[in-house]
């Protein structure tokens, strides 16, 4: 029924998600495309940030979307659909990560004591962000590398809070940790990323983003 889909597609943004979900539950399954479309990029990026592998991330993202479709009746209207969806993605990605855990090397920063105060390493001035910064593939690549270099527990919190815009409480609930832990890890993740990026984005790119095997970035 392309006509119906097109009429839904053009004003899709105006459609209330609750109404869409109600209609999907009532059997109009095709509307799930409309519901999911605005979140495709976020779903993929959340999976990628956790799994750090494009093929695995795409597979996890697809599985998560299929699970969202399958369990759409379990969605509670008091939550945001985007939050519910991202929670499914995070669970899917973490489950895959756990399965592979035995074969993976722990990031060095995961051993760092969370309670220990973080001291910035670098005080490079980084006042302005050039407007074209994110248009440059090289810069996006550096940002992705910096994020990937964080320990898992810091990366997860940062992704949910600062990239997916979940609240502190939603982040805590998704990861099964306290709000105090979310705040501590978030602070550390932000400061570590600043330390990694400021010398490059504030001035010239340095080689600090690339660590020799076995060396401690922090």
Partner 1 sequence: MVVNCEHVWREISNYLEGDIEPDLQAAMEEHFRGCKHCTAVLDGTRNVIQLYGDERMFEVPLGFSHRLHRRLEENMPGNRRSLLGWMVAAAAAVLVAGSFEVARSSVFSRSELRSEHAQPGTGVPPDMMVVVSGDGKTFHAAGCPFIHDKAHLQTIQAREALRQGYAPCVRCMKKYLTA
Q: Which residues bind partner 1 (CB under 8 A)?
A: 1-2, 5-6, 8-10, 12-13, 29-30, 32-34, 36-42, 44-45, 54, 58, 61-62, 65-66, 69-70, 80, 82, 117-120, 123-127, 129, 133-135, 140, 143, 147, 158, 161-163, 165-170, 183, 186-187, 190-191, 193-194, 197-198, 201-202
* 161 Cβ contact list (under 8 Å, min separation 6): 167, 168, 171, 182, 186
Name the residue nearer to partner 1 (CB basis): 119 or 207. 119
Name the residue nearer to partner 1 (CB basis): 62 or 91. 62
* Whole-number Cα distances in Å, 76 to 61, 73, 177: 21, 8, 22
| Distance (Å, whole) CA 21 – CA 7 | 17
The CB-of-136 to partner 1 minimum distance in angstroms stands at: 10
The CB-of-125 to partner 1 minimum distance in angstroms stands at: 5
| Distance (Å, whole) CA 142 – CA 133 | 11
Name the residue nearer to partner 1 (CB basis): 38 or 106. 38
The CB-of-72 to partner 1 minimum distance in angstroms stands at: 10
The CB-of-151 to partner 1 minimum distance in angstroms stands at: 16
The CB-of-209 to partner 1 minimum distance in angstroms stands at: 14
The CB-of-135 to partner 1 minimum distance in angstroms stands at: 7
């Amino acid at each position: 029924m392309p006509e119906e889909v097109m009429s839904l597609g053009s004003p899709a943004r105006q459609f209330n998600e609750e109404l869409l979900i109600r209609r999907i539950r009532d059997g109009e399954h095709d509307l799930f495309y409309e519901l999911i479309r605005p979140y495709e990029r976020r779903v993929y990026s959340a999976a990628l940030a956790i799994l750090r592998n494009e093929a695995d991330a795409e597979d996890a993202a697809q599985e998560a979307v299929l699970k969202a479709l399958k369990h759409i009746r379990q969605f509670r209207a008091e939550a945001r659909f985007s939050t519910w969806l991202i929670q499914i993605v995070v669970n899917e990605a973490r489950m895959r990560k756990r399965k592979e855990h035995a074969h993976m090397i722990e990031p060095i920063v995961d051993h760092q004591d969370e309670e220990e105060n973080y001291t910035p390493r670098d005080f490079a001035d980084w006042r302005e962000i050039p407007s074209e910064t994110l248009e440059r593939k090289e810069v996006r690549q550096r940002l992705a590398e910096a994020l990937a270099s964080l320990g898992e527990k810091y990366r997860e919190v940062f992704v949910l809070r600062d990239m997916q815009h979940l609240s502190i409480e939603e982040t805590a609930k998704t990861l099964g940790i306290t709000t105090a832990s979310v705040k501590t890890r978030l602070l550390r993740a932000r400061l570590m990323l600043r330390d990694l990026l400021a010398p490059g984005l504030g001035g010239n790119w340095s080689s600090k983003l690339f660590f020799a095997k076995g060396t401690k970035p922090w």
